[in-house]
Amino acid sequence: MRAFTLLLAGLLAAVAVAEAQDAARIVSRAGLVYRGLRSLQADFTQTISDRMIGDFDSRGTLIQAGNNRLIMRFSDPAGDLITLDGEQAWIYTPSSAPGQVIRVAIPADPVYGLNVVAWILDRPTERYRTTYLREDQVGGRPVDVIALEPLSPTLPFTAATVWLDRADALPRRIELTETTGARRTVVLSRLRTNEPVAEGTFRFRVPQGVRVIDQ
């Protein structure tokens, strides 16, 4: 019995090592694919769960070109917009704060402001301790589910789980526990990579009568 117990313990330890290696390999591949992209476009749904305000659901489309150029156009709430133009982030939410737009200087590395995908996939093996959780499917596509534990307190979340597509290594679902205690879930669909992005896509034009608030 003792020999069997030792054998079983050894097998479990070997499985744990193999899963840890798989997690690092899978995340490393995703990071390489991400850094090689000229652009990424997708539809998204987002849920933010907060103990104080409850759940807030939104949806829309996003376009990204690098870590600091991103636009999220919301169809629900219609008219809301968040864009990173390379130097500044513009947060325009007439659904909740009509008549104003918030302008924020984009933080330096390693925080990417509002670019959730960059939080996860830029140099992931340097930033996180990874754990393989399970196989799964998102939208009928096979994915690997990986838990990420940030190694630096400068990142704006304390834990993350990412569902990485086995075919193209891109994220299909991201769940974050943010430092505020809120939980954010982003689901991506209809991903398109390396499509041309029109000049001026990320430029925000302040609507007439809208006040700019610098933060």
Domain edges within the chain: 2-214
Burial of 130 (0-12, 13-18, 19+ CB in 10 A): buried
Q: Report the pLDDT value the prediction gives residue 1, as an integer from 0 to 100.
A: 52
Residue 131 in contact with residue 151, Cβ under 8 Å? no
- Average pLDDT of the segment spanning 80-97: 93
- Average pLDDT of the segment spanning 159-188: 94
Could you please state the CATH topology (level 3) that the domain comprising 2-214 is classified under: outer membrane lipoprotein receptor (LolB), chain A (2.50.20)
| Full-model pTM | 0.83
Q: What would the pLDDT profile of 21-56 be if each residue is shown by its tens digit?
A: 599 999 999 999 999 999 999 999 999 998 877 889
Residue 146 in contact with residue 28, Cβ under 8 Å? no
Q: Which of 204, 215, 3, 208 is nearest to 92 (CA)?
A: 204
**How high is the mean pLDDT of the chain?**
86
Residue 211 CB neighbour total at 10 angstroms: 9
Q: What would the pLDDT profile of 65-81 be if each residue is shown by its tens digit?
A: 987 899 999 999 999 99
3-class DSSP state of 192: strand
Q: Which residue has the higher pLDDT, 119 or 160?
A: 160
Q: Report the pLDDT value the prediction gives residue 116, as an integer from 0 to 100.
A: 81
Pairing state of beta strands 100-105 and 78-85?
Answer: unpaired
**Quick check: 8 pLDDT over 50?**
no
The percentage of the chain sitting over the pLDDT mark of 90, rounded to a whole number, equals 66
